[in-house]
Amino acid sequence: MLFSPACERNREPILAVLRQWLPAGSPPAGITVLEVGSGSGQHGVFFTQQLPGLTWQPSDQAAGLDPLQERIALEGALRPAPGSRLLPALTLSVDDDHAWPAGPYDAVFSANTAHIMAETAVAALIAGSARVLGPGGLLLLYGPFCDNGVHTAESNAAFDAHLRSLDPAMGVRDTVDLHGLAGEHGLESRADVAMPANNRILIWERRG
């Protein structure tokens, strides 16, 4: 199974943000979250164990689906919080409009994906999220970001250079561009939460 040490380190700080921003789910309706680029699936397992009334829909590109499904099959039913469940993963490449589920979701969550995706895919992630969110729904994007070309830490600048040396299409994304894209798709900025290790969670709300 895929295992991400970073997921283990960042899951508690992310959980604290989810507790604050996702209204407490009350069965039977609860809270529905679509996760984009779930990777190892560790976040979905942990958050459905910690938050009640949460239906978490993991997803990833076809190439990453097998190890993700394996974790969900092995750990998805381990001690979920009351009324919470981790669903089998969907195949979702953000650039494929037809692959997006219908929604509506209360939130879309994506961690450490924007700097891996090409800029066109980041735009597709934001557009697709806006389509599947219900009015008042939230897009939460976790990772390192820069502001108007300025990195918030030397380590993020080095990470950005490293990514671009591996593939010029990758790179730490700029909040100015992200806010511009979000605004074009009816998403209003609600918060920019500082996280450990120079990461952040950007939160937008789908206008009604």
Ligand X SMILES: C[S@@+](CC[C@H](N)C(=O)[O-])C[C@H]1O[C@@H](n2cnc3c(N)ncnc32)[C@H](O)[C@@H]1O
The two tokens of residue 133 are: 């969110």
* Closest chain position to ligand X (CB): 39
Which of 84, 112 has the CB closer to ligand X? 112
CB closer to ligand X, 49 vs 61: 61
Check binding of 113 to ligand X (CB under 6 A).
yes
Q: Give yes or no for residue 112 binding ligand X (CB under 6 A).
A: yes
Pairing of strands 199-206, 133-143: antiparallel
Q: Outline where the chain has alpha helix (H).
A: 5-21, 42-50, 65-75, 119-132, 154-166, 175-184
CA distance 10 to 13: 6
- Residue 142: CB atoms within 10 Å: 23
Shortest distance, CB of residue 60 to ligand X, whole angstroms? Answer: 5
Closest contact distance (angstroms) between CB of 94 and ligand X is 4
User: What's the CA gap between 105 and 32, in Å, rounded?
Assistant: 5
Which of 25, 37, 83, 144 lies at the binding interface for ligand X (CB under 6 A)?
A: 37
For residue 61, state whether it binds ligand X (rule: CB under 6 A). yes
Indicate the residue among 31 and 201 with the shorter CB distance to ligand X. Answer: 201
Closest to ligand X by CB, 57 or 113 = 113
Whichever of 86 and 94 has its CB closer to ligand X, that residue is 94
Which of 48, 55, 93, 175 forms a contact with ligand X (CB under 6 A)?
93
| Amino acid (one-letter) located at 54 | L
Q: Is 58 helix (H, G, I), strand (E, B) or coil?
A: coil
Residue with tokens 């040396």: 165
* Listed ranges 33-41, 161-169, 187-195, 198-206: which one lies at the site for ligand X (CB under 6 A): 33-41
Nearest alpha carbon to residue 105 among 72, 68, 135, 60 = 135
**Given the rule CB under 6 A, which residues bind ligand X?**
4, 7, 36-40, 60-61, 64, 92-95, 111-113, 116-117, 121
